[in-house]
Copies of this chain bind each other. A is one copy, B any other.
Amino acid sequence: MPVEKFEVLGLGNAIVDVIARTEEDFLVSHGLAKGAMMLIDEPSAHRLYDAMGAATIISGGSAANTIVGLASLGIRTSFVGKLRDDEAGQSFAHDIRKSGVHFDTPFAKEGPSTARCLILVTPDGERTMNTYLGACQNLGPDDINEDLVRNSAILYFEGYLWDPPAAKIAFKKAAAISHAAGNKVALTLSDSFCVDRYREEFLELIRQKTVDIVFANQHELKALYQTADFDTAVKAFRTEGVLGAITRSEEGCLIVTRDETLALPASPIEKLVDTTGAGDLFAAGFLAGLVRGCDLRDAGRLGGLAAAEIIQHYGARPNVNLADHAAENGLAIPA
């Protein structure tokens, strides 16, 4: 029986977000680097959870957020990520399926619990993330369904996949299948500390054309080229000859190809609540535009619009139907 055709397949860490508001001094007293994503072990996760305030629990995970955003934009999507068969894992699976995403990665029946990201949101809306990878550590090449990859126009994955031991092997297997089928591969650099951990490997992915599209924010791009100057980093990236979408928070984004650099303003917002998921949803809007044949300018605008929605509430999953939201803002997604 042939596999259903998908437009975007996401590969990422399947994580449940545990979100609490906090004051700046909590970050300081717990040695947390504001705005970053830090990997923590299970005992540290328990200690931090015990210390942090009352929390809201919402499904998360960077690539998963992007895929759910794409589904909300009306794009046919599927996701691959590893959960344990615990309460958090059941919630994640429920939420992603109910968001319209095809998801059938088998649950781990033993081993570490479903991954959690303890997110502390300061009054300025900035989020500081502390991730216990748990069951994600068991994602491996056996979780890649060849037919699924072959039948997905774009394979999207997160740099964070380099953290668990076998996920990069799963990704490389998927990327080879994807390219062999004539599909595209997209990577988000995830986080500047993640870039610091895996710089050479990420550059190799770009230079060997294992990836066709790269998402990064300005910090990640500067980390990739080890420069403090943004323009220098953009110039270096342009020579790579892959398509780049570089986000700059309230300054909007740059769409970079070998031939041109397109600067787009950020979408206006009323009130910044929680920046969690801004980059993930930018990627969703941009990929939705690309896969439906929009020009780069409209794809970038869709990215900005989706990012603006997500930062005006807690959590990184959309609170509205993004396809309707885009249409209301003059950016209807082409059929």
Chain A contact residues, CB within 8 Å of chain B? 20-21, 49-50, 52-59, 68, 86-88, 91, 94-96, 98-99, 315, 317, 319
Give the residues in chain B near A20, CB-CB below 8 Å: 98
Rounded to whole angstroms, the CA-CA distance of A87 and B20 in the bound complex is: 17
Check A95–B58 contact: CB distance below 8 A.
Answer: no
A54 and chain B: residue at smallest CB distance: B95
Given contacts A56-B57, A88-B87, contact A50 B319 (CB under 8 A): no
CB distance from A18 to the nearest CB of B (A): 8
Contacts A/B (CB < 8 Å), 28 sampled: A20-B98, A21-B319, A49-B94, A50-B94, A52-B98, A53-B98, A53-B99, A54-B59, A54-B68, A54-B94, A54-B95, A54-B96, A54-B98, A54-B99, A54-B317, A55-B91, A55-B94, A55-B95, A56-B56, A56-B57, A56-B58, A56-B315, A57-B57, A57-B58, A57-B91, A86-B87, A87-B87, A87-B88
Rounded to whole angstroms, the CA-CA distance of A91 and B87 in the bound complex is: 11
Other than A53-B99, A55-B95, A56-B58, give 10 A-B pairs with Cβ distance below 8 A.
Answer: A21-B319, A50-B94, A54-B68, A54-B98, A54-B99, A54-B317, A55-B94, A56-B56, A56-B315, A57-B91
Give the residues in chain B near A87, CB-CB below 8 Å: 86-88
Rounded to whole angstroms, the CA-CA distance of A55 and B319 in the bound complex is: 11
How many monomers of this chain does the complex have? 2
CB distance from A327 to the nearest CB of B (A): 17
Q: What 3 A-B pairs have minimum CB-CB distances, sorted nearest first?
A: A54-B95, A57-B57, A87-B87
Identify the interface centre among A55, A57, A86, A91: most chain B CB within 10 Å of its CB. Answer: A57
Identify the interface centre among A49, A56, A95, A317: most chain B CB within 10 Å of its CB. Answer: A56
Give the residues in chain B near A68, CB-CB below 8 Å: 54
Rounded to whole angstroms, the CA-CA distance of A118 and B86 in the bound complex is: 19
Rounded to whole angstroms, the CA-CA distance of A315 and B57 in the bound complex is: 11
Rounded to whole angstroms, the CA-CA distance of A94 and B55 in the bound complex is: 9
CB distance from A271 to the nearest CB of B (A): 10
Give the residues in chain B near A88, CB-CB below 8 Å: 87
Rounded to whole angstroms, the CA-CA distance of A98 and B118 in the bound complex is: 15
Give the residues in chain B near A95, CB-CB below 8 Å: 54-55
Rounded to whole angstroms, the CA-CA distance of A59 and B57 in the bound complex is: 9
Give the residues in chain B near A317, CB-CB below 8 Å: 54
A86 and chain B: residue at smallest CB distance: B87
CB distance from A79 to the nearest CB of B (A): 13
Give the residues in chain B near A50, CB-CB below 8 Å: 94
Rounded to whole angstroms, the CA-CA distance of A99 and B317 in the bound complex is: 25
CB distance from A316 to the nearest CB of B (A): 12
Rounded to whole angstroms, the CA-CA distance of A21 and B99 in the bound complex is: 12
Give the residues in chain B near A57, CB-CB below 8 Å: 56-58, 91
Give the residues in chain B near A96, CB-CB below 8 Å: 54
CB distance from A182 to the nearest CB of B (A): 33
A96 and chain B: residue at smallest CB distance: B54
Rounded to whole angstroms, the CA-CA distance of A56 and B16 in the bound complex is: 11
